[in-house]
Every structure is written in structure tokens, then in C-alpha cells.
Structure 1
Amino acid sequence: MGGTRHGPAVRRRKLGEELRGLRLRAGLTSRDAARLVGWHQSKVSRIETGRSGVTHADVVRLLDAYGVGDRRLRTVLEALAGAADGGGTGWWRAYRDVIPPQYRDFISLEAEACAARTLETSVIPGLVQTPDYARAVTRAALEGLPEATVDALVEVRMARQEVLRGAVPLRLDAVLDEAVLRRQVGGARVMGAQLRTLAEVAELPHVRLQVLPFTMGGYVGLSGSFVIFSFPNISDLDVVVLDHMTRSLYLERSEDLEAYGAAFRTMQAHALTPEESLVLIAGIAAGA
């Protein structure tokens, strides 16, 4: 399984940091580690800095060399190797000339996750956008793009939605600011269709949608949208993604995950129930 790896950079960096820490705790230099596993020192350095991917077999060799016997730790790091190694093999590779590496990282995490909790304060979540709404959002957010590029980005958005329709679909918990429902993205016709689609998706058994009404006033998540991805069996792989104008920020520290998880639970507790939210959505759609 040689060759260059194109997996999620966030996974490579985390794995590299963990492996470097284990090497240091074992009292080894990078030259020592390379000699023990039969590699060039530069390979160890590239892995530890996240500049190079690493296979499952490579991680096992390093953990053995460092004398790591903790089964849970080994399981987590081996799972990280799989996540960092697999990000380049998905359908999104066909769009690598259109979507930047960080977006590919996001899509890969989304595809691997078993659940996502998302707060949206400005737009409908990408996983439930209609093509017309996605096109309007893309044109507004990225002015001046050639029409062919816009088309490709909309195709990517639609392809991402397959995670909600698979044999084992992604569990989606979404909390939306009421402003998301009332902002006329693309005009009344586009918005009306989008709200009706949103209501249909909200009826799926693996989707829970709640709205934070204007009457609530300020709330803990008002400063910005975020997504929390959770992964099967191992909570250590969970990650918070914050979207900014020019980049995405990935948070993986346990204290960050706890803080954002608690904030999301608070917002769910104060939001309208799923049933009340559907009533509100239907009312706004009727007037769109």
C-alpha cells in the first residue's frame, strides 16, 4: 500500500502528534525510530508533522517499536490511520480540481461519520439543500465563479446528500436559527421549494430538526455555525468543524468537544420541538 496519501489533513496531523508523543515517551529519537522499523528518518518526520500519510501497517510497526501495549490506544490510533489513509479514495476525488483540500477533508469526515450535530445560523444545511438553493448560495458566497464551476459545486453538494440515504444513513441532528428559514435565498420560488424539501427530510427517522425562534433572543451558539461529527465506536475520533470565510477550523481536544456538545444540548433544550418546528416551517413556506 505504498504511494502518496491524500486523506484528511486533520487526521494526519492528529495521528502524527500522537505518534511523536509516544516516540518521545519511549525515549527514542526520530533516527532511532527509523532504524527500528527500517525506514529513512525523513519518513518518520513527515508522518509526525502530518505532511505524509501513513498506512494501518505502518502505525502497527511504530506502535510495536515504541512498546505500546494499551489496546484501546492502539485501536484509536489504528482507526486514525484508516481515516487519514482513506480520504482520497472517495467519489469527491473526481472534483479535486474544483474543491479545495479542506472541503475534501470535510466531505471525507462526513462520509465516515455515523452522526452529525449541526447548528446553522445563516443557511440551510448542505445535506438538505435543493439544487436551486445550493446554486443560489454558491453564487452569493463565491461571486464571479464560471458557470461550469458553479455546476460542479452544486453536483458535489447533491452527492454529499447520499449519506442520508444509505443502508446505514448518517444520523443528523440539526438546530436552525429562524433567520435561516426566512432569508429569501434565490427568491420566493426557490425558498418555498427549499422549505418544503426541508420539511420532508425532517420526517426521516434518522433526522431530528429543531428551530430556534426569534422570540428566544440571544443564545449560546449565536456567534456562528458549527458541526460535530461522531464516529462509530470510538469517541476519541469525534471532531468539531467551524466554518469561516476563508478556511475551516477543526477542533479535536476533549475539552472543545465537551464544550460544543454541551452548547448543542442547551440549544436543543431551548429550541422548538421537532413537531413545533415543522409547523413553523410549513407556515413560512405557505407565505413564501
Structure 2
Amino acid sequence: MPGIEPLQPSRKPTLTPATGASPTALRLVLGAQLRRMRGEAGITPEVAADRIRCSTAKISRMETGHSPCKERDAADLLELYGVTDPARTAEFIDLVRKAGQRGWWRTYADVLPDWFEPLVGLEEAAASIRTYEGHYVPGLLQTADYAYAVVRSGHALESEEITRRRVELRLRRQQLLQRRDAPKLWVLLDEAVLMRPTGGTRVMREQLAHLLEMTELPHVIVQVAPFEVTAHTSPGNGITYLRFAVEGLPDVAYIEHLTNATSVNKQESTDEYRWILDSLSAQSPSPAASRDLLWEALKRYGGGGPVV
């Protein structure tokens, strides 16, 4: 069975994360910094909220990276927390400014739900992405026609233009896999996905051929989780687990539901989801054996050839 990289001990966050992080990732880093500095200063959320004239709920959202932080608020909070070094304050404010920038995905705001936007931003900053899907091929590995079929199945009454925009967004996300510093993508695919002819025979045949082609990339791994495995170990919903090469940014588990999603970054929660993925991976065929299963599925849809 394939080996799974062990959990690494968390590192003490530093003020400056690696360059190139997405605005979404920077908000998480800055939030963690604000929470740490507030704790070290012995300041309660109520006192912090009073200082910048907001609710404690907003302080919580800022510290978890779910709400942006204004430059003026950041300066006031740093002063409250005892940060008096002008250079350190200026450095932090610069990060606040960068975290407030618009990511490329904001161009698709008309088709990008608020609950899905964080995942797109975090994908851009991830060093590794592990995902389990029980219904469809993950968006990062979908062909255009397969993506169209998936989108239409969930948004049948939408206009063709909106559908096209949704598919375009999905394909744009895939560009991160072509970067020189592309993240490692490890996919656990429920066997049911191979049996479900999404989009019809031709679309499914092309999708499976694309999956096989993508597994030839050194940073893309696909494992097929058989029915006998998922019958006993299955999260029920899709899970995406992201790890980052950014100081101060914890692992994030993103769990999809029917009409929304939940993201968690506390270690006691992310460890649980990582354990589920580890367990599924350890019980499933190896990546090489999974390629054979993909070839067998491709042949059932009228494609295939010699296994390479």
C-alpha cells in the first residue's frame, strides 16, 4: 500500500509568510498572527472589539481569516497588543494590504458562491491537495464536457451563458497543476464515480482517458477506492485537505455539503479528516493498481489500449 506522509509538528508562526501566497491564504496567516498577539498581550476579544468599534464576532472572523482586516483596524490592534516597532507595524500593514487584493477568481464572482471562494484561494497557495470524491471526478481533473455535464446536473434551469461561466471557472482553476511549482494532488476516487456515466458514453470515455493522462504527471496521484472499502470507511461528503508551504498557515480541511461547505483549521479537527483520508488510502489499491482499474473502466466505455 502507498505510504502516507506523516503529520509534521506545527511550526511557530512568523510575521512574514512566503511570497506568492494568495490573498485567501494571507488572510489566514494574518488572522493567526492577530489571535496569537492578542493572546500574548492578555487582551480579551471584547476589549479588542471595543478598540476598533466592532463586534466580538467580527474579531473572531478576522482571526480565523473569514473576514478581511482594514489597515486602520490592524494598526489600532497592533498598538493595543503592544507592537510598537514601526518597521514591524509597517510590515504587517503591507501584508494586510496584500491580503485585501482581489484574486483572479473574483472575475467569476457572478458564478462563485461565497462558501466556495475560500477553497479556490487556498488551492492557489497549497503545497499539497488531498481530496476524496464519491460522486464525480474532482473539478481539478475534469474535462470541459464532463464539467459541463456536472454543472448542468446541478443547475439545469440556468442559462447557457451562466453554465459556460461555471465551466470556465473550473477549467481556470486547473491551471495551477501546470505551474512549475504545482501542488501535489492526491485524489481518492470512489469506485462509483467510474460506474456513473456522467455526460454519456463519449464524455465519460474522454474523461477517463484524461484521468489516465494526468496520472502521468509526477505530482498527480489517483487512487480508486473500491466499494468494499467505502462500505466501511467513507466520509459521506467530499473532503479536500490542503497543506501549505507558508509559515504560520495551518492545514485546512474543506468539507462539501449539498448547498454549502465547511472549512476547519484547528488541528484536532483537521487530524480527524486526515485520518479518514489516510485510512481510505491505506485500504485502497496502489496508484499503479488504480491505473489498471481506470483502464478497465475506460474499456467499458469503448476506449482503452495496452496498459502502460
Normalised by the size of structure 2, how large is the TM-score?
0.75
Q: State the partner residue of 2:8.
A: none
Q: State the partner residue of 2:263.
A: 250
Q: 1:243 to 1:67 in 2, by over 3 A?
A: same
**Given that residues 13 and 49 in structure 1 are in contact (C-alpha distance below 8 angstroms), is that contact kept between their aligned partners in structure 2?**
no
1:41 is aligned with what amino acid? I
2:197 is aligned with what amino acid? Q
Q: 2: distance between equivalents of 1:98 and 1:181?
A: 28
Q: 2: distance between equivalents of 1:30 and 1:252?
A: 20
Q: 2: distance between equivalents of 1:211 and 1:57?
A: 50
Secondary structure of 1:101's counterpart equals coil
Q: 1: distance between equivalents of 2:286 and 2:223?
A: 6
Between Structure 1 and Structure 2, the one with more helix by share is 1
Matched, 1:127 2:145: no
**Given that residues 116 and 228 in structure 1 are in contact (C-alpha distance below 8 angstroms), is that contact kept between their aligned partners in structure 2?**
yes
Q: 1:234 to 1:22 in 2, by over 3 A?
A: closer
Q: 2: distance between equivalents of 1:264 and 1:248?
A: 18
Q: 2: distance between equivalents of 1:14 and 1:169?
A: 21
Secondary structure of 1:102's counterpart equals coil
- Which of 1 and 2 has higher RCO (CA within 8 Å, sep 6+)? 2
Question: Given the alignment, which residue of 32, 46, 50 partners 2:61?
Answer: 50
Deviation at 1:62, TM superposition (A): 3.4
Q: Which 5+ residue runs of structure 1 have no aligned equivalent? A: 1-6
**Given that residues 187 and 222 in structure 2 are in contact (C-alpha distance below 8 angstroms), is that contact kept between their aligned partners in structure 1?**
yes
1:108 is aligned with what amino acid? G
Q: Which 5+ residue runs of structure 2 have no aligned equivalent? A: 1-22, 302-308
Matched, 1:163 2:172: no
Q: 2: distance between equivalents of 1:54 and 1:282?
A: 49
Question: Given the alignment, which residue of 166, 189, 209 partners 1:196?
Answer: 209
Matched, 1:106 2:119: yes
The alignment's C-alpha RMSD in Å is 3.5
Deviation at 1:219, TM superposition (A): 3.1
1:164 is aligned with what amino acid? L
2:259 is aligned with what amino acid? T
TM superposition outliers: structure 1 runs of 4+ over 4 Å: 10-18, 27-35, 43-47, 55-61, 81-85
Normalised by the size of structure 1, how large is the TM-score?
0.80
1:224 is aligned with what amino acid? N
Q: 1:250 to 1:85 in 2, by over 3 A?
A: farther
